[in-house]
Structures are given as structure tokens and as C-alpha cells.
Amino acid sequence: MNHKILIIGAGPAGLTAAWEAEKLGIKTLVLEGDKEVGGISRTVERNGWRFDIGGHRFFTKVDEVYKIWDEILGSDDFLLRPRMSRIYYKQKFYDYPLKASNALFNLGIFEAIRCVLSYFYVRIRPPKNQDNFENWVAARFGWRLYNIFFKTYTEKVWGVDATKIGSDWASQRIKNLSLMKAILNAFQINKSGEIITTLIDKFKYPKYGPGMMWETAYKKLLDKGHEIKLNKRIVEISKEDDHYLVTTKDGEQFKADNILSSMPLAHLPKTIKPSPSKEVLNSGENLKFRDFLSVALVINEEDAFPDNWIYIHEPGVKVGRVQNYGSWSPFMVKEGKTCLGLEYFVNIGDELWSMEDEKLIALATHELEKLSLIKKDSSLEGYVVRMPKAYPVYDLNYSKNIENIADWLSKEHKGIHPIGRNGMHRYNNQDHSMMTAVKSVRNIVLNEVNDIWKINVEEDYHEEISTGRSAPVQKD
Ligand SMILES: Cc1cc2nc3c(=O)[nH]c(=O)nc-3n(C[C@H](O)[C@H](O)[C@H](O)COP(=O)(O)OP(=O)(O)OC[C@H]3O[C@@H](n4cnc5c(N)ncnc54)[C@H](O)[C@@H]3O)c2cc1C
């Protein structure tokens, strides 16, 4: 049988593609390499404790995305949750998004003055080469603020010196914000003098974690007649006369006219036959990833702290962020206890990645106690989850590598449509992944001509200032 649409991956992008195809009257075949759906947005369950691969806010400025989430999950299961997050640095908590009064108080008057002077210094003498993250941010915030709020965390996330990270990543996350604009935002005044609405004070979240959204989508799609096969890792895609032949690791083969691929873009050059030029193959090899592991600790305390998550800018510990799943949803935890998720940014094979689970749990417990985020001996049990390829790396050459692969696909493989996060090597949230899927399906079925590579690049979010990770930032 020749499928009109075959989808690789049952994460948010793949399942949304099937959801959109259903609306347009097409039944799809979805092939997922793992034994479960949801991709990075899954919820892991261990011994009755549920936790995310990093906390997942359901937040978007794209109404269409909210519509899809609401179609999948009824309002009883899709909670509106209060948000609180802070930065921990030198034993102090800074509100996040940053607030001028709180930052000033914590930094102390002398450090605050130094920060402002350092800002004026870069206004007069901006760093010459602003192609890298460090100089780009320092030019907009001054060196002192850069060192306090950006450097440590960014280097923890990416595992390299901030001068090796492209400025694209900063500009995507921080847009045109500068210290002056941040101060105005901190007082909640935008250009037109209006108070910024507090859209970011709340967010939607499935009662039992993000996985619930995608597990529900999976079940509903099966009910509607889509085929979704798990444990089907794609290892080869070959172009036959007028269709593609897709081969899975266990040797099964499927025919399709169009393939929506959320498998890593980096893997397409070596997966598709006939093989592309050496240059395109090299581009695939040179797209890099940062991997991730989370240690979930069950804590014998009602809530440990009120935040949903805390960014750890403290240089003396390895943990980058701590999630509090009881704050995300009370349904994620059990009476009188909470579950904290310590996030470590790693590379496959490095010391932390290879460490035995027991040692990781001991390290995580020790670090939480050192940071005084939990009382001594209140950690009861722990679980480790490793997630390869959690972050597509934006190094100095990544965009050229993407361009080479995208060019080759558009010329030689018009039936293969990259969608989603790793699928397009874009450091983006679920909403972006979903929209690339929706628009690609419309391109195929309705002959629309949406440029998938332009989606979300210009979208802005009601967030004030990002120090790195997933929180998008407000455009001025
Ligand atoms: C720590 C962290 C926190 C995050 N927080 C948020 C947040 O707060 N809000 C938010 O909206 N987003 C957040 N995100 C981003 C979100 O996880 C992703 O945007 C989203 O999961 C991407 O969906 P996707 O379908 O494109 O990719 P994925 O989720 O990666 O799914 C891809 C699927 O394809 C499968 N696959 C890969 N290769 C193959 C193959 N060869 N054959 C078959 N199947 C294959 C994978 O197994 C996977 O299931 C966060 C991400 C991380 C890492």
C-alpha cells in the first residue's frame, strides 16, 4: 500500500501532523522509533511518580496551537497553573523574569552601580565581533550583568565557552532587549506606556504532565483510523520511481508519496538513498546536539519551595535547573511529598552521562542540600532519565549546515518535509514544532506554499528577559 502521508516520529510534531491530516480527510501512517509517544515532551512514570523531561509549559502566542491542545485534551484535564520561577545565584534568589527592585536589592547598591557603569562602558566601547553569544550579550547588558545572569548558566547548558556559541541563539532568545529596555520592562512599562499584561504569570499544563497531551492524541488518532506503530526506527529512506520506500531497523518496509520527518535533520543525509554529495553528508555530521539527564528525587516535604522551577546560576554545583513537579500540577505528586527534577546538561559518554544511577542520585541529593533547597535527609528515593539529543546546538556553522541540507532536500526530495525541533535543527518549543507540522500538511494536501523555515522566527512572546533556556523573550 502506498501511503499519501507517512510521518516519522510520534512527538508533538508528528502527532500534530496526523491531527491536521485527519481534519483534511487523510489517514496517516506514523512510525515511532521509541516504545512510547511524546518525544521530548513525554512524561516519565516511575513507581507512581510522574515527571517531565524538563518542565514543559504549554504556552504560545499562536491561537491555532491552543485550539489543537484544547481539541486533544478537555478543560478538566488541561489546567491553568500559576507560574513562579527564580534564579539562584550566590545564595540569593532573583525573581525571574528579572524585576529591577528585587535585582537591585539582591545585588546591593555598589554592585548595581558597577553593573550600570559596565553597561555605559559597552555603549561607548562595544565588543567588536558580536557573532558570538558572549560579545552579543555583553554589548547589550554590559560585562558585569553578562557574567552574573548569562555566562554560567549558558555555559552549563551548552558545555562550551560562551564565545563558541553563535549569536543567533542569543538573538532568538533575547531579541532586541538591552539593559535599558529590561529596566523599563521590569517596571512593566512598554513603548506605548501600557502595563504589560501578565500572560506569563500563568500557563496551561496537562493534569498529569505533558505526556498526557500526546498519549491522548495518540489514542484519539488510533480511534480515528490512523496507524501509529511504535518501536519502528527508520534506518533508510530510498527514492523509487514515484514514491519513497522507508525501511525500519527491524527490516519492515513501507511505501509513501510524502514523508513528514521529525527525526533529526542531521541524520537525513546518511539515511536517504541515493546518498547526497560529500558536502551535504558532512553538513549532517557537523550538526551537533547537547544531551540531557534529569534526576527526579522524591522529597519528604509538602512542597520544598513554591517555584515551578529555579535556574541555578551557582558555579559550584553541576545542576542547571531544578523543577518542582508538585508546583506544576498537584496531581503529579502524592500526599505530603513532592518530586523535584534536577536537570543536568551533558554530552553522551561524558562523566555525568556515564555515571551509575545511584551515584547520580547521591550527587543530586548532595547538591540540593548544599543549595539549601531541601532539608538534610529529606530525599527518599530517586530516578534517572537520560534524553539524548535534547538540544540542537547553534554553533558558529550550524545555519550553513542546515541550509546545505535544506537546499538538497528542496531540489532532490520534494516529497520529504522536515518538521519539528530536531527535525529542523531548531531550538524551539512545542508550538513551533506543531506549526511546522500543520503548515507542511497543508502544503501537501491543499497545495499551500508555506515556507516552513520561516515559521516562528518572528513570533514574539510575553516574557521579559531570558537567561538561556526555554523561556522566550519579549520583542520591543
Ligand atoms: C529540557 C527541555 C525543556 C523544554 N521545555 C519546554 C516547554 O516548557 N514548553 C514547550 O512547549 N517546549 C519545551 N521543550 C521543547 C519540546 O520538548 C520540543 O519542542 C518538542 O518535544 C519537539 O517536538 P518534536 O515532535 O519536534 O520532537 P521530539 O519531541 O524530539 O519527537 C521526535 C520523535 O521522533 C522519534 N524519532 C527520532 N528519530 C527517529 C527515527 N529514525 N525513526 C523513528 N522515530 C524517530 C523520537 O523517538 C521522538 O519520539 C523543552 C525541551 C527540553 C529539552
Residue 456 belongs to a domain? no
Residue 332 belongs to a domain? yes
Question: What pLDDT score does 467 carry?
Answer: 35
Same domain, 101 and 180: yes
Domain that holds residue 325: 289-392
Same domain, 26 and 8: yes
Ligand 1 binding pocket includes 388 (Cβ within 6 Å): no
Ligand 1 binding pocket includes 422 (Cβ within 6 Å): yes
Q: Per the structure, how many domains does the chain have?
A: 3
Q: Ligand 1, residue 387: give the atom nearest the CA.
A: 53
Same domain, 274 and 408: yes
Same domain, 106 and 157: yes
Q: Kindly tell me the burial class for residue 317, based on how many C-beta atoms sit within 10 Å of its own C-beta (0-12, 13-18, 19 or more).
A: middle
- Can you give the pLDDT of all 476 residues of the chain as single tens digits? 899 999 999 999 999 999 999 999 999 999 999 999 999 999 999 999 999 998 999 988 889 999 999 999 999 999 999 989 999 988 889 888 777 678 878 889 899 899 889 999 999 999 988 888 899 989 988 999 888 888 888 888 888 899 988 887 776 666 556 666 666 665 554 555 443 333 467 899 999 999 999 999 999 999 999 999 999 999 999 999 889 999 999 999 999 999 999 999 999 999 999 999 999 999 999 999 999 999 999 999 988 899 999 999 888 899 999 999 999 999 999 989 999 999 999 999 999 999 999 999 999 999 999 999 999 999 999 999 999 999 999 888 899 999 999 999 999 999 999 999 999 999 889 999 999 999 999 999 999 999 999 886 444 433 433 333 332 222 22
Same domain, 115 and 161: yes
Same domain, 249 and 367: no
Q: Whose CA is nearest to atom 5 of ligand 1?
A: 56
**Cell (9 digits) for 287:** 550538526
Residue 199 belongs to a domain? no
Same domain, 325 and 367: yes
Q: What is the CATH number of the domain that holds 278?
A: 3.50.50.60
Residue 20 belongs to a domain? yes
Residue 81 belongs to a domain? no
Question: What pLDDT score does 395 carry?
Answer: 84
> Considering the entire predicted model, what is its pTM?
0.90
Ligand 1 binding pocket includes 382 (Cβ within 6 Å): no
Residue 225 belongs to a domain? yes
Same domain, 224 and 257: yes
User: Ligand 1 centre and the CA of 361: distance in Å?
Assistant: 25
Q: Whose CA is nearest to atom 23 of ligand 1?
A: 12
Q: What is the CATH number of the domain that holds 328?
A: 3.90.660.20
Ligand 1 binding pocket includes 175 (Cβ within 6 Å): no
Same domain, 262 and 399: yes
Q: Ligand 1, residue 391: give the atom nearest the CA.
A: 53
Packed helices 12-23 and 63-72: angle between N→C axes, nearest 10 degrees: 90
Same domain, 256 and 278: yes
Question: What pLDDT score does 315 carry?
Answer: 82
Substitution site in 56, 294, 441 for ligand 1 pocket (most atoms within 8 Å of beta carbon): 56
